[in-house]
């Protein structure tokens, strides 16, 4: 039989009184729980007033208050009506010290916070559904509930540099599960491929090759035996599938339209024999779907098709919608696009996958042969959120050579100054990218880090000598 809920009135009063009492008389308990308690978790206005008095005192004086100090602070508080003043005074006077097991106290307080967070999120969700003028959209409801369900008291309060050296060493030598490329330089700059729980962005102008890049990579992932989810909001599902067909079946787009059915089936069956992976392509109307829709899709695929993706491609970020900010709200593009990027990165963390998407360059960046991170259209908040961001650059000269330049703009995997620019081959007819000979890389600009040309390099060598002497 399950225990009674904290939503029962008498249980409410008992647990809230217990929490408030130990926030005064038990310093160890206070230090453990005060960062997680919120005013909204308390039911009665008087309880909220007393909690705020305690919380404000602890923040200001870094110590537990006494009943006397709380009564004085209550007396000095403005904008409290007579009824709440008397009830708050009675609560403070009733607080008492009891010798209660601290582990039970902390566990019970954690459950109280979890139950109250869920309760409050449900009420907030109902308010969003009932209020068409709410700043939050219906798409924000899953995140409200997800955040509430994720409430927990974190016991890890930091990494001790000395005591946690063994754990740190194991982290350095741990082999992460990566989704690698068939393009050598992309593997080099990412140290072996994309890591789960990351957001990776390709920046390019219209027609340069954003979708081609994602179709090529998703095709290769499929041949690796990976499960791939490709979400498109720019082109139809059939158009994306056609590009992937061209890539995997080694046929041009024009050849696909005249290929006999038996030849096509033969190629598909041969492909089926070589991979255990699946590739699902899902189309949404432009600007109509966001992370909440994608979360629902992922859950549906898991339940109905037993499909859990290893990597997700979203074509492309700027034409997604935000699940937190209501469409048509009075917000600027910086805030809106940054919100979408944060939601997609949160989705990557939630489902433990890398997400690959793309964004447009500005008008100036489109004609620029050396695109910078500042050429990101609409919002500079996007590169601030991304783990890896690179530009795809095409010029008339490179088109004639069947090449496209890649320039690193941001890289949390590796040093972005190493191999900052490199080129890959491109076959637009078959929607493919490929490695080029090393000689093709030699004409690119010098990628030597700036600091090696300054006194920093000399200072670093001197510091290395000192450290070597220290350890010897």
Average predicted confidence (pLDDT) for the chain: 85
Specify the DSSP element, H or E, that contains 424: strand 421-427
Which is more confidently placed, 128 or 414? Answer: 414
Task: Kindly indicate the confidence band of residue 392, based on its pLDDT and cuts at 50, 70 and 90.
Answer: very high
Distance of alpha carbon 289 from alpha carbon 357, whole angstroms:
14
Across the range 263-284, mean pLDDT stands at: 92
Q: Is residue 424 part of a domain?
A: yes
Q: Is residue 114 part of a domain?
A: yes
Residue 6: pLDDT above 70? no
Q: Is residue 470 part of a domain?
A: no
* CATH, residue 117: 1.10.860
Percent of the chain with pLDDT over 90: 44
Q: Are 214 and 128 found together in one domain?
A: no
Q: Is residue 406 part of a domain?
A: yes
Across the range 14-20, mean pLDDT stands at: 89
Q: What is the pLDDT of residues 222-273, one digit of tens each?
A: 999 999 999 999 889 999 999 999 999 999 999 999 999 999 999 999 998 9
Distance of alpha carbon 208 from alpha carbon 188, whole angstroms:
23
Q: Is residue 22 part of a domain?
A: yes
In terms of residue numbers, what domain contains 215?
Answer: 177-453
Q: Are 205 and 322 found together in one domain?
A: yes
Q: What is the pLDDT of residues 340-370, one digit of tens each?
A: 999 999 999 999 999 999 998 876 655 566 7
Distance of alpha carbon 284 from alpha carbon 296, whole angstroms:
13
Distance of alpha carbon 356 from alpha carbon 388, whole angstroms:
9
Q: Are 282 and 397 found together in one domain?
A: yes
Q: Are 129 and 232 found together in one domain?
A: no
Pair type for strands 432-434 and 421-427: antiparallel
Q: Are 137 and 242 found together in one domain?
A: no
- Please report, in angstroms and rounded to a whole number, the separation of the first and last CA atoms in the chain: 65
What is the structure's pLDDT at 452? 38
Q: Are 106 and 201 found together in one domain?
A: no
Chain centre to alpha carbon of residue 465: 41
Which is more confidently placed, 442 or 346? Answer: 346
Residue 449: pLDDT above 50? no
Q: Are 102 and 21 found together in one domain?
A: yes
Which is more confidently placed, 456 or 351? Answer: 351
Q: Is residue 201 part of a domain?
A: yes
Task: Kindly indicate the confidence band of residue 450, based on its pLDDT and cuts at 50, 70 and 90.
Answer: very low
Q: Is residue 187 part of a domain?
A: yes
* CATH, residue 379: 3.40.50.300
Q: Are 136 and 183 found together in one domain?
A: no
Q: Are 300 and 349 found together in one domain?
A: yes
Q: Are 298 and 405 found together in one domain?
A: yes
Distance of alpha carbon 409 from alpha carbon 406, whole angstroms:
10
Q: Are 34 and 183 found together in one domain?
A: no
Q: How many domains does the chain have?
A: 2
Across the range 72-89, mean pLDDT stands at: 89
Q: Is residue 211 part of a domain?
A: yes
pTM (two decimals) = 0.66
What is the structure's pLDDT at 156? 59
Chain centre to alpha carbon of residue 445: 33
Q: Are 70 and 209 found together in one domain?
A: no
């Amino acid at each position: 039989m399950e225990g009674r809920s904290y939503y029962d009135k008498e249980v409410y009063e008992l647990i809230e009184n217990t929490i408030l009492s130990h926030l005064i008389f038990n310093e160890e308990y206070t230090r453990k729980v005060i960062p997680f308690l919120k005013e909204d978790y308390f039911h009665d206005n008087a309880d909220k007033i007393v909690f705020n008095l305690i919380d404000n005192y602890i923040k200001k004086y870094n110590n537990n208050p006494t009943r006397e100090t709380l009564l004085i602070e209550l007396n000095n508080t403005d904008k409290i009506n007579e009824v709440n003043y008397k009830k708050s005074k009675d609560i403070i006077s009733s607080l008492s010290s009891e010798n209660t097991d601290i582990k039970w106290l902390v566990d019970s307080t954690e459950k109280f916070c979890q139950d109250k967070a869920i309760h409050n999120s449900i009420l907030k969700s109902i308010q969003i559904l009932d209020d068409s003028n709410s700043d939050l959209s219906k798409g924000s409801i899953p995140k409200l509930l997800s955040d509430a369900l994720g409430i927990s008291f974190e016991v890890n309060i930091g990494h001790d540099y000395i005591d946690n050296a063994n754990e740190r060493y194991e982290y350095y030598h741990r082999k992460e599960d990566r989704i690698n490329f068939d393009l050598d330089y992309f593997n080099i700059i990412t140290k072996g491929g994309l890591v789960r729980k990351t957001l990776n962005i390709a920046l390019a102008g219209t027609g340069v090759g954003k979708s081609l890049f994602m179709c090529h990579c998703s095709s290769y992932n499929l041949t690796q035996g990976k499960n791939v989810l490709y979400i498109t909001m720019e082109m139809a599902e059939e158009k994306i599938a056609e590009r992937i067909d061209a890539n995997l079946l080694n046929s041009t787009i024009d050849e696909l339209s005249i290929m006999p059915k038996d030849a096509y089936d033969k190629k598909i069956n041969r492909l089926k024999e070589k991979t255990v992976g699946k590739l699902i392509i899902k189309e949404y109307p432009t600007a109509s779907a966001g992370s909440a829709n994608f979360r629902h899709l992922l859950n549906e695929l898991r339940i109905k098709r037993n499909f859990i993706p290893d990597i997700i491609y979203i074509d492309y970020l700027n034409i997604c919608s935000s699940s937190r900010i209501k469409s048509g709200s009075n917000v600027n593009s910086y805030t809106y696009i940054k919100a979408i990027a944060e939601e997609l990165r949160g989705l990557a963390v939630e489902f433990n996958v890398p997400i690959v998407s793309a964004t447009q360059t500005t008008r100036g960046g489109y004609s620029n042969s050396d695109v910078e991170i500042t050429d990101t259209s609409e919002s500079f908040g996007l590169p601030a959120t991304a783990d890896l961001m690179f530009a795809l650059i095409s010029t008339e000269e490179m088109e004639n050579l069947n090449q496209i330049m890649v320039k690193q703009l941001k890289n949390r995997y590796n040093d972005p100054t190493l191999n900052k620019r490199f080129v890959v081959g491109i076959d637009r007819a078959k929607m493919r990218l490929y490695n080029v000979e090393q000689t093709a890389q030699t004409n690119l600009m010098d990628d030597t880090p700036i600091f090696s040309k300054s006194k920093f390099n000399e200072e670093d060598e001197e510091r290395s000598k000192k450290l070597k002497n220290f350890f010897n």
